[in-house]
Structure formats: C-alpha cells, structure tokens
Structure 1
Amino acid sequence: MTQRAEHSTVMDRLAIDDLITGYAHAVDDGDWDAYRELFTKDGRADYRSAGGIEGGCEEIAGWLSETMRHFPVRQHLIVNRRIALATRDGAPGDTATVRADYLNPMRLADPAGATPADHGAMAPNYTCGGRYAFTVHRTPEGWRLAEVVVHEKWRQVVPNGKV
C-alpha cells in the first residue's frame, strides 16, 4: 500500500468513526433531521431485535421520534468499533462495514410527570446492550449509512433508586 493509500485509509476510518458518533448523538439528542442526513437516499435500519421496526430512513426516523418520547433521558455508548474498509486494486474502496458494541442507559418517562431534570423522579432506569452492524457507503457528500442493524443482546429495567 502506498503512503497516499495509507493516508486515505486513515482519513476514511476517521470519517466513518465520526459518522457512527453522529448517529449516537442524533438519536440521543432527538435530532431527527440530523439522523436523516446520516443515511444514503435508500438507507435502511432494522430495530426488530430490540422490539422495533425495519424500514427506510424516513419511516425509521418517524418511528424513533415517537418511541424516544418514552425515554426523555438517553445516552448511547457505541464502543469496540471494528471498521472493515473494502479495497479496490489495493486502494480504499467506497464501502465499509462497522461492527460495534453498544450500551444504552435510558430513563423511562416518569408516569407522575416529573421532568428529567428532577433528580427525585421515580421513573425506572432502562438499560440495554448489544451490537450494531453498520454498512456505510462513500457518497459525494461523504460517508453515509446504507444500513443499520441492531442486535440487542440484553435489557434491564431497574426502579429508580435501586441498584
């Protein structure tokens, strides 16, 4: 691999890593416009293993917008990212896959109506974990998500104040 190809590979890996971080931020912040911008025009996501739906980006963004209202406090931690770049004639290609573990602590909406800032809220804590499988494509706008598949491995609901 030439020095130019190595530099390009490093830059691609950094851009892909930033894309995955952008995904976590968009979901956690409820920024559904930013979420949509992360995907290719025909991008799809599959949340069925976590009790969700599978579909195109627009459908998924709408579903997430409604579903995440039940979780006013959320934080996706996407770790152990393994990026596999496709190559073409020894140079970086235009597709990649990313396998990454996630830990997703959230707080369910308080049935008594307390706000997330109210530390005395009695809403339960909800945590789940698993692995994402991302497929990404290089586009004229940069790297974008072509497919997101969630493989939830576990979940736990704990009443607030309990360990």
Structure 2
Amino acid sequence: MDRWEDEVATTRITDRDAIVDVVNRYAYSLDERDWELLNQIFTVDAVGRYGGPPLEGREAIVASIRSFLDGCGPSQHLLGNHIVEIDGDNAVARCKARVYHYGAGDRAALSPYECFGVYRDRFRRTSEGWRITERTFDVQHAVGDITILQPAPAATQ
C-alpha cells in the first residue's frame, strides 16, 4: 500500500470509528436520560422510524423518546455488530440492539420490557461531525410489559 492509500484507509477507519461513536452516544444518552446529548446525534431535519408514523425533525424524535423513557426506570441499550459503509460525506450503518427497560414507581413490579432488533441509519458529515439523518429501529422480538415505557408523571415534567 502506498502512502496515499494508507492515508485513505486511515481516514476510513477514523470515519467508521466516529460513526460508531455517534451510535454509542445515542445509547448512552437514552440510558442516562441526557436529552441534550441527542443534539449531537441527529441533524435538525432528521427522520426517525420507531414502529409508528415517521418522526420529522430532531425535536420530534427527542420528544417521542422522552414520552417512553422519562417515566421508565433504568434502561440499558446494548449495541454491537456494527456495519458501516461510507461514501464521501454520507454513510449508512446498521447495528444489532438488545434493549432492557425496568419499571419505575408503581410499575416497578411489572415484568421488565426487553426487545432486540436492528438500528438502520443514514449519516451525513456536518461541520460538527457525523450526524444521523435517518434512523429506523426494526424490533424483531420483544418480551415483558411494554406499559413500563411511559412519560414522566405530570408533577415532575
């Protein structure tokens, strides 16, 4: 491999790592309920597909996620088997996800809700780094009580 090919390979590895880092930050932001961190994940005009109608824009995506997790107990989003394909300033990526949700308050005794599936993403390189422009979560299997996923109680919003 000549020097130019080596530089291109290093750039591709760096871009791949940066994209995987964005995906991992998404998981941490959900589990830590760090909603501001999602501003570093999605473009303003991003589209999210989480099993219902498409969510148009970062604000709609964050609001939807909060409606499920703000009233939920602890969660853990485990991600792996990342595949990233980069084409200049655009990329597509996918990874496997196993997600566990525990109930809070009067729902703590319910059977925890767990699902696994695949995140399918489109990315764009921006001046701030790689950002998700489109995210789809294809849930392939779920067990437990989905009512654990709920908004925060009105008094704490």
Query: Same fold per TM (> 0.5)?
Result: yes
Q: Gaps spanning 5+ residues in structure 2: where? A: 146-157
Alpha-carbon shift at residue 69 of structure 1 (Å): 2.4
Q: Gaps spanning 5+ residues in structure 1: where? A: 87-92, 113-120, 159-163
Aligned residues between the structures: 142
Task: List aligned pairs for 1:60-71, cutoff 5 A.
Answer: 60-71=61-72
Preserved CA contact (<8 Å) 2:47 2:57: yes
After superposition, the CA RMSD in angstroms is: 1.8
Read off the aligned partner of 1:79 and give its amino acid letter: G
CA distance in 2, matches of 1:62, 1:157: 24
More helix by percentage: 2
Out of 82, 105, 109, which is 2:104 matched to?
109
**1:46 corresponds to which residue?**
49
TM-score by length of 2: 0.83
Alpha-carbon shift at residue 60 of structure 1 (Å): 1.5
Read off the aligned partner of 2:110 and give its amino acid letter: A
**2:151 corresponds to which residue?**
none
**1:126 corresponds to which residue?**
113
More strand by percentage: 1
Displaced runs of 4 or more, over 6 A: none
Preserved CA contact (<8 Å) 1:135 1:146: yes
Identity of aligned residues (%): 27
Q: Could you say if the C-alpha distance between residues 128 and 77 of structure 1 is closer, same or farther in structure 2, counting changes exceeding 3 Å?
A: same
TM-score by length of 1: 0.80
CA distance in 1, matches of 2:6, 2:69: 45
